[in-house]
Amino acid sequence: MASRNQRRSTDGEAQAMSSGHDPRGNDSDSLDEERILSGLETRWLGRDLLLFDRIVSTNELASSLARKGSRGSVILAESQTGGRGRLSRSWESPPGGIWMSLILEPDIPLALAYQINMAVCLAACRAISSLLGLKAGIKWPNDILIGGRKVGGILMEIQANGERLEYAVVGVGINANIDPSPFPGEWMATSLSQEMGSSICRTALIQRILLEMERAYESMGSEEIYDEWRQRSVTLGRMVRISARSGEVVGEVVDLARDGALMLRINGDLMRVLEGDCIHLRGLERK
């Protein structure tokens, strides 16, 4: 295992950082395990932190570590070559972003697994809002938006044994100091540096996200988390189109259920939607 102040290459082999030189020429923003740990206020989350220069996917490594019994660890990478989104989609992960995965072992039934996603989305929004003063909202089910543009996403992958949740790997991708202009326009992507007009301190944001995650995780399923998640929702009250494996529906989002389901009104009838892709349509725009 690499010692602190060293970075790991994709295959896990430690690479000593050359005396403070950052090839991207931005020393103040380069990530360093010791610096992150020294200002980390969590009690347990992120105490076992692994930082890589380049990796295929932090979720992929976290899943393989989880299978070997690792819990509570956080995997971070400067860039990913095969970053993953939901449903086998890819996630662009150039240097300058925050690409990290957490291995959690919540004591909740499988049916309540969405509460983890809820807590993590909320924690990311709280951290961005409190540290940077930006208004971050949650687009159902897992997108973090600023001003209607996607600044980040959450990818939760779970392992269950019957009705019991064995572990959850939660991937958090945040476009921190990156230029989103090369991304296709239809992604409606933004980044924190673009919104702020200058680079942000990723170390401080990672520390704050981990702290907010530990707090939200410990009060998972509470009224407070549920209420704030609804308040931060930019989907509630909207006309949406949901594409799911079972087909496509269009309706108005009249509520968000405690298990994470969307309550849609379609031609006067109520319908629960638990999974799928959500497109916000025009009209009935509350936020």
- Binding flag, residue 52, ligand BT5 (CB under 6 A): no
Strand order in the sheet with 74-80: 14-16, 6-8, 49-55, 74-80, 98-104, 164-174, 149-161, 143-146, 136-139
- Binding flag, residue 57, ligand BT5 (CB under 6 A): yes
Q: Which is nearer to ligand BT5, 165 or 178 (CB)?
A: 178
- Binding flag, residue 59, ligand BT5 (CB under 6 A): yes
- Binding flag, residue 276, ligand BT5 (CB under 6 A): no
User: Which has the closest alpha carbon to 45: 125, 105, 96?
Assistant: 105
Are the C-beta atoms of residues 178 and 29 closer than 8 Å to each other?
no
Q: 225: helix, coil or strand?
A: helix
Phi, psi angle pair for 110, to nearest 5°:
-55, -40
Q: Which is nearer to ligand BT5, 199 or 265 (CB)?
A: 199
The site map against ligand BT5 for 93-132 (x = CB under 6 A) is: x-----xxx-------------------------------
Q: Which is nearer to ligand BT5, 38 or 243 (CB)?
A: 243
Considering only 46, 96, 153, 251, the residue that binds ligand BT5 (CB under 6 A) is: 153
E strands in the chain: 6-8, 14-16, 49-55, 74-80, 98-104, 136-139, 143-146, 149-161, 164-174, 239-244, 247-256, 262-266, 269-273, 277-280
Q: Rounded distance, CA 158 to CA 166, Å?
A: 8
- Binding flag, residue 73, ligand BT5 (CB under 6 A): no
Phi, psi angle pair for 227, to nearest 5°:
-65, -45
Shortest distance in whole angstroms from residue 18 CB to ligand BT5: 26
Which residues in the 175-204 window bind ligand BT5 by CB under 6 A?
175, 187, 189
From the list 2-10, 43-51, 83-91, 130-138, the region that binds ligand BT5 by CB under 6 A is 83-91
Give the binding site for ligand BT5 (CB under 6 A): 57-59, 80, 83-87, 89, 91-93, 99-101, 142-143, 150, 153-155, 171-173, 175, 187, 189
